[in-house]
Structure 1
Amino acid sequence: MSASAEISQHTFASSAALAEALAGELANRLRKAIAERGRALIAVSGGSTPKQLFDRLSQLALDWDKVYVTLVDERWVPESSDRSNARLVKAMLLKHAAAAAHFVPLYEAGQDTPEAGLVYLQARLSALPARFDAVVLGMGGDGHTASFFPGGDHLTQALDLQGRQRLWPMRAEGAGEPRITFSLPALLDTEALYLHIEGAAKREVFKQAETGEGAGAHYPVRAVLNQSRTPLSVFWSP
């Protein structure tokens, strides 16, 4: 299958310019959802790339007490760990005006594995809308997005567009810790889907995934680019 025709690409001169533009876009999406339905739900990614984005978004004016924030995926580590995506989101996004937002973690303290925690997370998510208002994906140098890692033990199930399970545990050689991730169909069930990437190296990985040439044919992010269910906006800066 060729890459979806519904991919719009936005290039910025700097990460600061990208953060400004994407934060404004996300804020508008959240405001629209609140105006229409009384609350908004956004899923964000961890890692170092979104730090400026989170900082900028946290300062924008909107009814943050009506916003619910969750993660695209999470490492199965407590929030005290430097590897915790929840720790990053709380430090970089849930501050300033955004401190009033409601955070929905993808980790359950006291459960040793993501499999053991799955039932708790599913119950937690059942109280939220099934459809996201915005999903912000990242991408690794190995072509993974969310916790869709090459060689992941549940990769096939997580990428199955007909699958009904919203969350999957994931273990892979390149993943480090065991992880929990939203499935591809769950992430595509959104009003707006974004891919935030920075740097020349990731730009090349994206191009390879888009064309399917060489190693790009096996990059998991290709599943996001090849689907026709949800338009994708790619935000990139050097």
Structure 2
Amino acid sequence: MMQLQQFTDTTALNQDFANRLLALLQQAIDERGAAYLVVSGGKTPQALFQTLSQTELAWDKVTVLLADDRWLDDSQADSNERLVKATLLQNNAKAAQFISLYANTASAFDGVAQVLPRIAALPTFDAVILGMGEDGHTASLFPCSGQIKQGLAPDAPAVLATEPTTAPYQRMSLSLPRLLNSRLIFLHLVGSNKLSVLDKAMADTDVYAMPIRAFLQHPVANVTVMYTAK
């Protein structure tokens, strides 16, 4: 089930979004003594991360991880881990625990054996924040990837290595079933072009052509689209 929430601008979106996330994380801490937040990289969430980092919360009881990352260590500019550490894991949120999707191996495919145990044992996430590319990819589940059917399979492992042909770097990505195992899923979109992509995604059902459809059209998953044109 998909719900679309539209905002006048990014400031309004980020404030509302931060409040929603804060409430979810607080509820999880109250109920089970710990909270689990999955985030995505890129430019879109950076202001949200900075807002969230300053919120009052028992951040030492929160575990943060990425939906995916490029196969780069966090000294590299294109590393999502680097971005999250520089924007979200600051201020009050500096106390949060972080689980990396990177291992010091020659390739992402070689690194799966090290990364998989970190993720497979985690409980249900409290919130997952996804992004969406112009091609309908989300996380590193790319339609051009030879691993797309594996990543979208109902019995997929928690993480998998992918190698898109239309984007640089090998990747480590959480799989569809691992991402769906969350209390709430958010899709964070900024720009009128993203609304056009969303409309296209909702107009057909081929998940391999646009992997975001596997989330938006899932019969049970609760997906909230947080959107602003500017």
- Tell me whether the two structures share a fold, i.e. TM-score over 0.5: yes
User: What band does the TM-score fall into relative to the shorter chain?
Assistant: over 0.9
Question: How many Å apart are 1:165 and its aligned residue?
Answer: 0.7
Separation (CA, whole Å) in 1 of partners of 2:112 and 2:93: 28
Q: Is the 8 A contact 1:208 1:216 kept in 2?
A: no
Structure 1 residues without counterparts, runs of 5 or longer:
1-5
Q: Is the 8 A contact 2:207 2:214 kept in 1?
A: no
Question: Which residue of structure 2 aligns with residue 230 of structure 1?
Answer: 221
Question: Which residue of structure 1 aligns with residue 105 of structure 2?
Answer: 111
Separation (CA, whole Å) in 2 of partners of 1:175 and 1:51: 21
Question: Which residue of structure 2 aligns with residue 48 of structure 1?
Answer: 43
Question: Which residue of structure 1 aligns with residue 202 of structure 2?
Answer: 210
Secondary structure in 2 matching 1:112: coil
Establish whether residue 16 from structure 1 lines up as the match of residue 8 from structure 2: no
Question: How many Å apart are 1:216 and its aligned residue?
Answer: 9.4
Question: Which residue of structure 2 aligns with residue 121 of structure 1?
Answer: 115
Q: Aligned letter for 1:119?
A: A
Q: Give the length in aligned residue pairs.
A: 229
Question: Which residue of structure 2 aligns with residue 184 of structure 1?
Answer: 176
Structure 2 residues without counterparts, runs of 5 or longer:
none
Q: Name whichever of 65-74 and 112-121 sits farther off.
A: 112-121
Summarize the Cα distance change of 1:47–1:119 in structure 2 as closer, same or farther, 3 Å threshold: same
Q: Name whichever of 165-174 and 91-100 sits farther off.
A: 165-174
TM-score by length of 1: 0.92
Question: Which residue of structure 2 aligns with residue 3 of structure 1?
Answer: none
Q: Deviations over 1:97-127 (max 9, x none)?
A: 000000101001x211111111111222355
Establish whether residue 198 from structure 1 lines up as the match of residue 196 from structure 2: no
Secondary structure in 1 matching 2:41: coil
Question: Which residue of structure 1 aligns with residue 32 of structure 2?
Answer: 37
Summarize the Cα distance change of 1:101–1:204 in structure 2 as closer, same or farther, 3 Å threshold: same
Matches within 5 A, 1:64-143: 64-108=59-103, 110-126=104-120, 128-129=122-123, 131-143=124-136
Q: Deviations over 1:181-238 (max 9, x none)?
A: 011111000011100000011110011101129x998222111112112111000001
After superposition, the CA RMSD in angstroms is 1.6
